[in-house]
Amino acid sequence: SILIVDFGSQVTQLIARRVREAGVYSEIAPFTTAEEAFHRLQPKGIILSGSPAGVPEEGSPRAPQIVFDSGLPILGICYGQQVMTHQLGGEVRPGHETGEGGEFGRAFLTVTRPCALFDGLWAEGERHQVWMSHGDKVTRFADGFEIVATSDGAPFAVIADEKRKYYGTQFHPEVVHTPDGGKLIANFVRHVCGLAGDWTMAEFRKTKIAEIRAQVGKGRVICGLSGGVDSAVAAVLIHEAIGEQLTCVFVDHGLMRLNEAEQVVTLFRDHYNIPLVHVNAEEMFLSGLAGETDPEKKRKFIGKAFIDLFEAEANKVGGADFLAQGTLYPDVIESVSFTGGPSVTIKSHHNVGGLPERMNMALVEPLRELFKDEVRELGRELGLPEAFVGRHPFPGPGLAIRIPGEVTKERCDILRKADAIYLEEIRAAGLYDAIWQAFAVLLPVRTVGVMGDYRTYDSVLALRAVTSTDGMTADVYPFEAAFLGRVATRIVNEVKGVNRVVYDYTSKPPGTIEWE
């Protein structure tokens, strides 16, 4: 395995992800407890992460001495490179002292010597794109090191001591903006550390099950299902770990897509035999939403009603010691970001955020380290049907935020029908998996049309489809005109209440993915 010593970079989890992708098990330990983790884990190599801190700053973090005494290969990334240099006797100076600013964003480096990290990948004299983000820099490296790649702003872009198998990169190989970064990390863990690369999601499942058992003991766990992939995967995994100690609650707000609620209930009760409380609260949600047209008020009402109902059900089943959530790593990064000032609320996201404090429960979050595609892989590993695992993301407030203006049962039904046709056509065209998210939006606008000899005066429906890797930014999916034409014709012909279909051509930013 690989031990990743975390100095607080926002992208440390990406290092773990790249190591997983190379088929090697890794654990992240904060620098404060890394020594203990080292003894427990007995790793074959060590990676030192980046950090918001600077090595020259007083009190900035250091790697435990055992890292250097162990004789194991080390890869230091950004701050990791600098802290290694400093601790081994080299020199790191703040950017402002060297008279040069830092380097942030895309940069190009030139390979000056062969190095084990570059094996089969980068040759001498080649230029490669990397992603830099640093203010301070190494000004004198420690004994035994030499430069193997340079860039304009970082003469020590990559340094290596091949004898001790110590490597330092000033850039971040773990981010996607360093296109070959994953391969560099794979070279480190496989070639340099000699690890086989045969670790799989099946191993992750076993490790997590043991962790869940250790955390929960004989306690009771309650899990809210949303109908989405994340909470379902979390629930199935936890059920495998602790069986009947888990109760699942599905608060069905009636704002799901066509047949979606039934699919969740069938999957859990029949397929997995997991006890499930299905709260059918459609009327309650629709009556609460009646007359409301303000997007934030709609979101807030749904979030609060959801929590109230969930809490009431939890009390009915006698309460629980733990609340399980399908929190993913992107949710974690956003919530602990180092951006400093308060960020502006674009939308009040609906999740069960306020619940743990209110109910005084500890959290079980077995997916905290994973990214969406990894959760899908774990879901497959757990035997969840492909049609479920591969589903596009669906927002907590459901169709309510895809019906600008007032939400009524009638409008939900119209939207459900149109959305189902759109998705059916997308699947039939083999495009579903190439799209991050596709859905229809029912607009509070009526326009005039003509069908046969009749005048119609009905609603406009907008279609949206985007590509994205994390939902933070998104591009419009470029359907062929013939495809859109087919969908528009079918919807207008088959869905009463819609007489015009338009395609949303806005990327994010400046648009958001959902319309409200």
Q: Which residues are annotated as a binding site?
A: 226-232
Is 78 among the residues known to form the active site?
yes
Cis peptide, bond prior to residue 509, ω within 30 of zero? yes
Shortest Cβ 240–ligand XMP spacing (Å) = 24
DSSP letter assigned to residue 474 = B
Residue for token pair 């065209």:
429
Shortest Cβ 179–ligand XMP spacing (Å) = 25
Catalytic one among 172, 253, 350, 392?
Answer: 172
Estimate to the nearest angstrom the gap between the alpha carbon of 336 and the chain centroid. Answer: 14
Q: CB nearer to ligand XMP: give 347 or 486.
A: 347
Q: CB nearer to ligand XMP: give 193 or 513.
A: 513
Helices (H), 163-250: 181-186, 201-216, 229-242
Is 282 among the residues known to form the active site?
no
Cβ-proximal residues to 121 (8 Å cutoff; 6+ apart), any chain = 180, 183, 184, 187
Question: How far apart are the C-alpha atoms of 261 and 217, rounded to whole Å?
Answer: 31
SS3 per residue for 20-89:
HHCCCCEEEEECCCHHHHHHHHCCCEEEECCCCCCCCCCCCCCCCCHHHHCCCCEEEECHHHHHHHHHCC
Catalytic one among 27, 103, 174, 369?
Answer: 174
Question: How far apart are the C-alpha atoms of 440 and 433, rounded to whole Å?
Answer: 17
Positions 277 through 336 that interact with ligand XMP (CB under 6 A): none
Shortest Cβ 470–ligand XMP spacing (Å) = 9
Q: CB nearer to ligand XMP: give 50 or 303.
A: 303
Shortest Cβ 391–ligand XMP spacing (Å) = 11
Span from 75-83, 211-219, 312-320, 345-353 in contact with ligand XMP (CB under 6 A): 345-353
353 binds ligand XMP (CB under 6 A): no
Shortest Cβ 160–ligand XMP spacing (Å) = 41
Positions 434 through 493 that interact with ligand XMP (CB under 6 A): 437, 471
Contact with ligand XMP (CB under 6 A) among 23, 330, 390, 393? 393
Structure token pair of residue 186: 């794979």
Is 172 among the residues known to form the active site?
yes
Span from 37-45, 155-163, 263-271, 395-403 in contact with ligand XMP (CB under 6 A): 395-403
Q: Which residues are annotated as a binding site for ATP?
A: 226-232
Collapse the DSSP code of 130 into the 3-class scheme (helix H, G, I; strand E, B; otherwise coil) and give the result: strand
As beta bridge partners, residue 166 has: 74, 161
Contact with ligand XMP (CB under 6 A) among 168, 397, 398, 404? 397
Q: CB nearer to ligand XMP: give 489 or 512.
A: 512
Q: CB nearer to ligand XMP: give 195 or 462.
A: 462
269 binds ligand XMP (CB under 6 A): no
351 binds ligand XMP (CB under 6 A): yes
Cβ-proximal residues to 350 (8 Å cutoff; 6+ apart), any chain = 299, 302, 303, 306, 395, 396, 397
Q: CB nearer to ligand XMP: give 267 or 399.
A: 399
Contact with ligand XMP (CB under 6 A) among 6, 136, 174, 514? 514
Positions 111 through 170 that interact with ligand XMP (CB under 6 A): none
Collapse the DSSP code of 243 into the 3-class scheme (helix H, G, I; strand E, B; otherwise coil) and give the result: helix
Question: How far apart are the C-alpha atoms of 176 and 162, rounded to whole Å?
Answer: 26
Which H or E element spans position 106? Answer: strand 103-111
Structure token pair of residue 483: 């495809």
Span from 166-174, 257-265, 393-401, 403-411 in contact with ligand XMP (CB under 6 A): 393-401
Q: Which residues make up the interface to ligand XMP (CB under 6 A)? A: 347, 349-351, 393, 395-397, 437, 471, 508, 512-514
Residues designated as active site: 78, 172, 174
